[in-house]
Structure 1
Amino acid sequence: MAFLALGVARPFLWVLAYIYIDILAPQKIGWVLTPALPISLIAFCAAFAGWLLTDPKSETRFHYRQGLMLFLLLYCFATTQTADFPVEAATKWEWVWKALVFAIFLPFTLTTRTRIEGVILTIVLTVGAIVISAGMKTALGGGGYGSLYFFVNDNSNIYESSTLATVAIGMTPLVAWLMKYGRVFPPDWRVKVFGVCLIFACLLIPVGTEARTGLLCIAVLGILLLRTVKNRIAYIAGAAMLGLVALPFLPASYWERMATITEHGGDQSASTRVAVWEWTIDYVSEHPFGGGFDAYRGNSFKYIMPERKEEGSSVSIEYVEVEDKGRAFHSSYFELLGEQGYPGFIVWMMLQLTGLWQMERLRRRYRTRDGPEDAWIGPLAAGLQNAHVVYLVGAAFQGIGYQPVIYLFLGLQIALWTYCAKRESLAPDEGSQQRRSRREKRAHRNPSSAPVRETAMP
């Protein structure tokens, strides 16, 4: 309520308030007042109203990636009308459209560096509230697959264990960026200590949840950071030493679950996913435009599972046929493919790949600029790109194709790209300025070589 009240003086804070509410879901935590009020809808409407009434629109630009999200929004609406399971599809549509609409709207509000940082800070601290709580429970021995409890125990949105592990690991580059380039909380020893502890808590989430996806995300992020570290040998040695030090503190149940990563044939969960993916490919070949949200409810398949039997000292393996139906996609790629067909899947992939490409261009363009107005751009582009890659890795094994936090990252990418494009359009071209300076120096040394301007005769 205080967050919403502050927005009366600074309407942009309503954008941050909605992000806070959308991630943390305080209406599910409170007992009396917050569940009774539609605080998410109030903040959602306030964010749009604040922008419409107070922000200048003269420099508003509509980026083509926002157009991709708009197409995806309209296409999802169309498939919802013809969904295989209309009731379930309508339930999912209720939150998917808000995630897409807000991601399309967000770049319009992020016109300054301070606003971009404000959104990053809000995401980091809001997710950090969940991560710190879960990290403390893990450090005190309260973790375990399916037994690590968060603020909300409904296994949805960011509170699903694998989703939280993916978001927590993907968030760490942004925490590091705030530790070095933040201006809301200027970097000092307190900010850096808090940042290091928060990153450590993020790394504890895959351990506490025993999410196999989290381990893969850590490995991928570690490889990505090799591009930007100054001393790669010291980085590799430090990472290896940190891993060796952590080994004795990891519980046996964690190792047993991680061992199933390479043995999907012997794990029922992994075997089911492979069977669902095969069913999805067959389904789309017959329904190229998808079956709408929750189309997986119509699946039915059989697969072979090895069953271990122990009789005294002898151990035997028998292969049994298992029949299953109505199993979730367990992959964002197959989720988009099955629900939105080939058109929706292609547009979604274009949205992801163009984001990676744009952040790579910004990272390369600004990596050598060290001025106070430019030094923060390259590292932020790299951080958003790393977070995006981590998401795409985690998305391969869980249905988070419409995860609101990830669309906030996409909105930040668009805002950063638009912000840089606007700055560069207002400033003189750096290359042209250097060439002009060299010509002026040559002309000063040798006046006879200076270009002669012709004047028109009257």
Structure 2
Amino acid sequence: MLDLALFAFVLFFLAIGVARPFLWVLAYVYIDILAPQKIGWTLTPLLPISLIAFVAAFAGWLFVDQKRDMRVHYRQGLMVLLLLWCWYTTGVSAFPVEAAHKWSWVWKALVFAIFLPFTLTTRLRMEALVLTIVLTVGAIVISAGLKTVGGGGGYESLYFFVNDNSGVYESSTLATVAIGSIPLIVWLMKHGTVFPPDWRVKLFGVALIFACMLIPIGTEARTGLLCIAVLAVLSLRSVKNRIAYICGAGLLALMALPFLPQSYYERMATIGSSQGDASASTRVAVWEWTLDYVKANPMGGGFDSYRANSFTYEMPVRTETGNTSSVEYVEVTDKARAFHSAYFELLGEQGYVGFAIWLALMLSGLVQMERLRRRYRKRMSANGGGADAVGGDAGIAQLATALQSGLVVYLVGAAFQGIGYQPVVFLLLGLQVALWNWCRRQDKPARHLVKRAHAASRRSDPTPDPAMP
């Protein structure tokens, strides 16, 4: 029955796109994140629904959408450069079969992110994309949160819609994406127009935020705890009463401590040290190998170049006998260990060139969103601090803040996971570009009037130019 309902919903989503082709863009986002073809077992795997939605999204924009508001941004150019560079390194990879498999989904994530800003030409469309991302991620988060509350959590034992430890369904990745989605949920609760912010929307938003906070607990992902801490610090910029916020956050944390399982405490205790944990020890060893590898291969080794690694390190093993414990260092040889860091993933696979492009893409997003945030908050203050619910100066400033905060959370989580090409993050990058372009279009008449007023004042100013003889 679930398979039939899911299949019918996907077909309905694609069918209504005939009347509104932009919905095909949202359909692809939904399919790309949720992967219903993996959830279903009979009907949904029959059709290549992801490919159908991908092609339909491009065709709908190409043949139906107006192109007068289309702008090409330099960050799209960075994505094109990264795409071309990944294509080049895939061709020269030492592991062509594995590299081709990874390339099969990386190129789609990059191409769609390059294409996305061309379709997001209105505020309503941008909000629709945010809503689709939040609700699709929310479907996974709510299910996992309910299992966590029911006692079904635990490291590598919290089951999602699919038994597939890849993409957004990887536990640490889901924890990062869930926490990074919280600022977008808050924005929809305050400035949404598709679902106006009444008590029902706010109640659902609060419940969804709670479910997102449960994911790091249910998955026991150490990265998730770091992401929560980073988001809590970033939120200090937006709250009105910081003292009350800090006290409230601390009180909630203390109230939650008695309900956390012992296994969660034990796993979180390994955050501060890499010596007593096998996972952390191998990560450090892989990172050291990657630095040596990229020195010998400055252009990178292509996708999955980590398969070439082999290293030996000392791993402390603690044994307990009665009330005494002893530590013995055992020499361990390992090979073909994954990078476990987006930074080292890009560095090892794409070399210095690809890593520089990727890092420029991320950092430029942080800078642009900060510029938008400050610009529209300044306007808000100049207008008396009024915040409208439909997303004027206040809405744009908070959307820029949400996109910036989500990217910061990703960059923190990416330090400990190989998620350098995570499609959800590239969707946010495309949304950032669209928001920047949209704001520039909205500000263009105002800039034109300012220039005209400045030119008129210069013509009417009788003061002679001191540079003239």
TM-score class, shorter: over 0.9
Match of residue 5 from structure 2: none
Give the letter aligned to residue 112 of structure 1: T
* Distance (Å, rounded) in 2 between the aligned partners of 1:353 and 1:430: 32
Counterpart position of 1:48:
58
Q: CA deviation at 1:317?
A: 1.2
**Is 1:380 aligned with 2:390?**
no
| Correspondences of 1:86-125 after superposition (within 5 Å) | 86-125=96-135
**CA offsets per residue over residues 152-205 of structure 1, 9 Å max, x none?**
111000000000000000000000000000000000000000000000000000
Q: 1:231 to 1:432 in 2, by over 3 A?
A: farther
Query: What letter corresponds to residue 419 of structure 1 in structure 2?
Result: W
Give the TM-score, by structure 2 length: 0.92
Secondary structure of the structure 2 residue equivalent to 1:183: coil
Q: Which amino acid aligns with 1:383?
A: A
The amino acid that maps onto 2:158 is L
Residue from 397, 403, 411 that aligns with 1:392: 411
Distance 1:50 1:451 in 2: 53
How far off its partner does 1:318 sit? 1.1
Q: Which moved more, 1:136-145 or 1:12-21?
A: 136-145
| CA-CA distance at 1:426 after TM superposition | 2.6
Does residue 402 of structure 1 match 2:421?
yes
Aligned-pair Cα RMSD in Å: 1.7
1:325-364 matches, within 5 Å, as 325-364=335-374
Question: Amino acid of the residue matched to residue 430 of structure 2?
Answer: G
SS of the aligned residue for 1:315 comes to strand
Report what 1:190 is aligned to. Answer: 200
Name the SS of the counterpart of 1:367 in structure 2: helix
Code of the residue aligned with 1:424 in structure 2: it is D
SS of corresponding position for 2:325: strand
Q: Take 2:92 and 2:85, find their aligned partners in 1: how far apart are those partners?
A: 11
In the other structure, the counterpart of 1:271 is: 281
2:298 matches 1:288:
yes
Letter in 1 for 2:76: Q
| Alpha-carbon shift at residue 431 of structure 1 (Å) | 6.1
Q: Which residues of structure 2 form unaligned runs of 5+? A: 1-10, 381-385, 463-469
Aligned to 2:467: none
Confirm or deny that 1:425 pairs with 2:444: yes
Q: Which residue of structure 1 lines up, in the alignment, with residue 432 of structure 2?
A: 413
Which AA in structure 1 matches 2:107?
Answer: W
Distance in 2 (CA, whole Å) between partners of 1:376 and 1:436 is 32
Output the CA distance in 2 between the equivalents of 1:308 and 1:195: 45
Do the aligned partners of residues 433 and 222 (structure 1) sit closer, same or farther apart at CA in structure 2, a change above 3 Å counting? farther
3-state DSSP of counterpart to 1:57: coil
How far does residue 252 in structure 1 lie from its aligned partner after superposition? 0.3
Indicate which of 218, 226, 233 corresponds to 2:228: 218
The corresponding residue for 2:174 is: 164
Paired position in structure 2 for 1:65:
75
Q: Superposition pairs for residues 229-268 of structure 1, below 5 Å?
A: 229-268=239-278
Identity %: 71
The change in CA–CA distance for 1:314 and 1:233 in structure 2 (over 3 A counts) is closer
Q: Distance in 2 between matches of 1:343 and 1:217?
A: 28
User: How far apart are 1:374 and its partner, in Å?
Assistant: 2.6
Query: Which residue of 1 is the match for residue 32 of structure 2?
Result: 22
SS in 1 for 2:332: strand
In 1, the alpha carbon distance for the partners of 2:407 and 2:449 equals 30
Pairing of 1:136-215 with structure 2 (within 5 A):
136-215=146-225
Structure-1 separation of matches of 2:319 and 2:120:
60
Distance (whole Å) between structure 2 residues aligned to residue 213 and residue 182 of structure 1: 30
Q: Give the match for residue 93 of structure 2.
A: 83
Secondary structure at 1:261's aligned position in 2? coil
Please tell me the residue identity of whatever aligns with 2:293: Y
Partners of 2:192 and 2:453 in 1: CA distance = 31
Give the conservation status (yes or no) of the 8 Å contact 2:377–2:393. Answer: no
Moved more, 393-402 or 426-435: 426-435
Aligned-residue offset at 1:245: 0.5
Alpha-carbon distance between aligned partners in 2 of 1:394 and 1:428, rounded to the nearest angstrom: 39
Aligned length: 442
The DSSP-based 3-state class of the residue aligned with 1:376 is helix
Which shifted more, 51-60 or 331-340? 51-60
Residue 264 to residue 9, structure 1, CA distance change in 2 (3 Å) = same
The one-letter code sitting in structure 2 at the alignment partner of 1:395 is A
Q: CA deviation at 1:30?
A: 1.1
Query: What SS does structure 2 have at the residue aligned with 1:375?
Result: helix
Query: Which AA in structure 2 matches 1:107?
Result: P
Question: Does the residue aligned with 1:320 lie in a helix, a strand or coil?
Answer: strand
1:230-273 CA distance string (max 9 Å, x none): 10000001000000100000000000000000121110000000
Q: How far apart in 1 are the matches of 2:151 and 2:450?
A: 58
- Per-residue deviation, 1:433: 8.7
Distance 2:361 2:99 in 1: 23
Tell me the distance in 1 between the aligned counterparts of 2:402 and 2:324: 53
Once the two structures are superposed, what CA deviation does each residue of 1:21-73 show, in whole Å capped at 9, x if it has no partner?
Answer: 00000001112221010000000000000000111112211100000000000
Counterpart of 1:235, as a letter, is: Y
What amino acid sits opposite 2:377 in the alignment?
R
Q: Is the deviation greater in 272-281 or in 31-40?
A: 31-40
How do 1:292-311 and structure 2 match up within 5 A?
292-311=302-321
Change (3 A) 1:318 1:430: farther
